[in-house]
Amino acid sequence: MASVTSLAASVHQRVADALSAALPEAGAVDPLLRRSDRADFQANGMLALAKKLKGNPRELAAQVVAGIPTGESGAVIKEIEVSGPGFLNITIADEAIIKTLAERAADARLGVPYADGAGTTVIDYAQPNVAKEMHVGHLRSAVIGAAMVEILEFTGEKVVRRHHIGDWGTQFGMLIQYLIEHPHELDHKGGEVSGEEAMSNLNRLYKASRAHFDADEEFKERARLRVVDLQAGDEETLALWRRFVDESKIYFYSVFDKLDMDIRDADVVGESGYNDMLEETCRILEETGVAVRSDGALCVFFDDVKGPDGNPVPLIVKKSNGGYGYAATDLSAIRDRVQNLGADSLLYVVDARQSLHFKMVFETARRAGWLNDKTHAVQLAFGTVLGKDGKPFKTREGETVRLVDLLDEAIDRATAVVREKAEKVGLTEQEIVENGRSVGIGAVKYADLSTSASRDYKFDLDQMVSLNGDTSVYLQYAYARIRSILRKAGDTKPAAHPELELAPAERALGLHLDQFAEVVAEAAASYEPHKLAAYLYQLASHLTTFYDQCQVISADNPVEVVENRLFLVDLTGRTLHQGMALLGIRTPERL
């Protein structure tokens, strides 16, 4: 493992040093460096600084330029000049680009460093509800959460996954009571059941018990008493409850499997997992005065949380009937994650519609001292998935769309796309099927990850599996093309040649490749996987331009040029593959 200093970091350092030397009284200053169309980089920190110190920005910039050696062999900066009101335009030496990339290529991690001060993050994601269908909201949590797990782990963070499934609540009274009265309804006759069968069993039971519950007062009463048994920990009742949870897990795992996601049983700690802590949580909150009794319920109040009538809306941690709800469970989970799992950061990948809940829960935990300056909690809140009409995604009948149906459709569409080109590429039937899955699931994940999580997005399969534009298919084809070129190159192997002069498209591709580490660090620190997706799309676009302008394999090229271009192509492939893997998307070798 060797972390590589990026060109941006080297340039930043040199300009900052020259700036400090020119203006020692200013102390440590930021030259505000960024990529630019005019030159490779532009620094405009001189403007604000000169203004602050009442100097002339162009003069200051000229002094900085004078302090930076350029053009000598081995120098990173080839040219630096003052422009406009006092910007610096900076051009990188071709040699430095290829040398830096060669260092990246020599490292299995592409020179991406581990983050300073990595800690432990608990990520709460992929949390469907027992005995209920999974819908697109669960898709978002799973996809965004899994990407954050990978991205953070890649930066060296210790990540603990928690799937806070909805496995507790009064609805189980009705289900269990029904099962007691119809004991064979969940029996598995022929051994193993598929995920689909499991869900259809649960659906059937849910509907039947609901019908009884609504029509039969006596059943309703028996169901209510069953809730009391469940909460009291009655063994027979718990055993039946567990059957519902297990049946649901068969279904969840089948969907996660289809999503090509690795969900481990040990990480599934649902709401019920915190039952033993609820009483203590409430006791601590009451004793410390964080929560107070109000109309018989235990509540926490906030100055800035009021209902439409202007009255404060409290977070209820214990209801007046003695029952504990969603908030008590989440508060107990915070205690567990901080005190037992040793978390420094808690990340909740949950629908934005639950933002008020988390705001109140986090604030309560802060007042109780469970969260503080060192240990913080963040909701990575995501927006709603919309239909093509721009309204929340529903079936024509107005029902929520089943996630599995969407995934199956995405796979079907993608398989058709793959099949169209299959003959030309010479794919076997098995490869067509495998690639269809990788492309279809990749399309769904990428569509979700390529827009900022907080925004709503339209679930539009036509757009998602399109070969052109900002789609995973485009990226996957870029990767497959890279692999095909490397195969065609035969015995000519990729090799870096820093002595060569680069074409503009090679420089642009090279400079972009060098930014990978910074983009990963940024996506990790700000919990924004879409920044990585945007980077990968730009990478593929740079590659396309490079192909248009630079022949890779050609008898007209000197062998060094071919090797150096293959080197760029290969590193682009590895960067694409690594980046896509962080997003949970496969990159087939042949497509």
177 binds ligand ARG (CB under 6 A): no
User: In angstroms, what is the minimal distance from the CB of 532 to ligand ARG?
Assistant: 24
DSSP 5: -
171 binds ligand ARG (CB under 6 A): no
Residue 311 phi, psi dihedral angles, 5° rounding:
-80, 145
> Rounded CA gap, 187 and 307, in Å?
47
Continuous segment of H or E residues that includes residue 381 = strand 376-382
> Rounded CA gap, 374 and 487, in Å?
51
User: How would you classify the pairing of strands 345-351 and 315-318?
Assistant: unpaired
For ligand ARG, the closer of residues 84 and 383 by Cβ is: 383
133 binds ligand ARG (CB under 6 A): no
CA dist list (Å): 292 to 279, 281, 307, 363, 425: 15, 13, 19, 15, 69
> Rounded CA gap, 298 and 296, in Å?
7
Please give the size of the binding site for ligand ARG, defined by CB under 6 A: 9
User: In angstroms, what is the minimal distance from the CB of 342 to ligand ARG?
Assistant: 18
User: In angstroms, what is the minimal distance from the CB of 199 to ligand ARG?
Assistant: 15
Residue 380 phi, psi dihedral angles, 5° rounding:
-85, 90
User: In angstroms, what is the minimal distance from the CB of 442 to ligand ARG?
Assistant: 24
Binding mask 229-268 for ligand ARG (x = CB under 6 A): ----------------------------------------
Stretch that binds ligand ARG, among 121-129, 449-457, 497-505, 514-522 (CB under 6 A): 121-129
Instruction: Pull the structure tokens for residue 157.
Output: 């963070």
Residue 51, number of CB atoms within 10 A of its CB: 12
Report, in this order, helix, strand and coil percent for the chain, each rounded to 5.
55, 10, 35
User: In angstroms, what is the minimal distance from the CB of 128 to ligand ARG?
Assistant: 6
From the centroid of its chain, how far is CA 443?
A: 15
377 binds ligand ARG (CB under 6 A): no
Is 480:589 a contact under the CB 8 Å cutoff?
A: yes
368 binds ligand ARG (CB under 6 A): no
| Alpha-helical runs (H) found in 155-216 | 171-181, 195-215
Among positions 94, 124, 157, 448, the unique one binding ligand ARG when judged by CB under 6 A: 124
127 binds ligand ARG (CB under 6 A): yes
Is 166:270 a contact under the CB 8 Å cutoff?
A: yes
For ligand ARG, the closer of residues 127 and 375 by Cβ is: 127
Stretch that binds ligand ARG, among 42-50, 110-118, 122-130, 184-192 (CB under 6 A): 122-130
User: In angstroms, what is the minimal distance from the CB of 137 to ligand ARG?
Assistant: 7
129 binds ligand ARG (CB under 6 A): yes
For ligand ARG, the closer of residues 145 and 588 by Cβ is: 145
Is 144:453 a contact under the CB 8 Å cutoff?
A: yes
User: In angstroms, what is the minimal distance from the CB of 109 to ligand ARG?
Assistant: 32
166 binds ligand ARG (CB under 6 A): yes
> Rounded CA gap, 564 and 431, in Å?
32
Q: 491 in the Ramachandran plot: left (φ > 0), alpha (ψ -120 to 50) or beta?
A: alpha
User: In angstroms, what is the minimal distance from the CB of 361 to ligand ARG?
Assistant: 8
Instruction: Map tokens 């235990």 to a residue.
Output: 298
364 binds ligand ARG (CB under 6 A): no
User: In angstroms, what is the minimal distance from the CB of 124 to ligand ARG?
Assistant: 5
Is 442:467 a contact under the CB 8 Å cutoff?
A: no
45 binds ligand ARG (CB under 6 A): no
For ligand ARG, the closer of residues 46 and 327 by Cβ is: 327
For ligand ARG, the closer of residues 400 and 466 by Cβ is: 400
Residue 296, number of CB atoms within 10 A of its CB: 11
Instruction: Name the residue among 449, 413, 360, 378 with its Cα closest to residue 139.
Output: 449
Binding mask 316-355 for ligand ARG (x = CB under 6 A): --------------x--x--------------x-x-----
> Rounded CA gap, 28 and 17, in Å?
9
Stretch that binds ligand ARG, among 27-35, 124-132, 468-476, 522-530 (CB under 6 A): 124-132
For ligand ARG, the closer of residues 63 and 354 by Cβ is: 354
List residues binding ligand ARG (CB under 6 A). Answer: 124, 127, 129, 164, 166, 330, 333, 348, 350
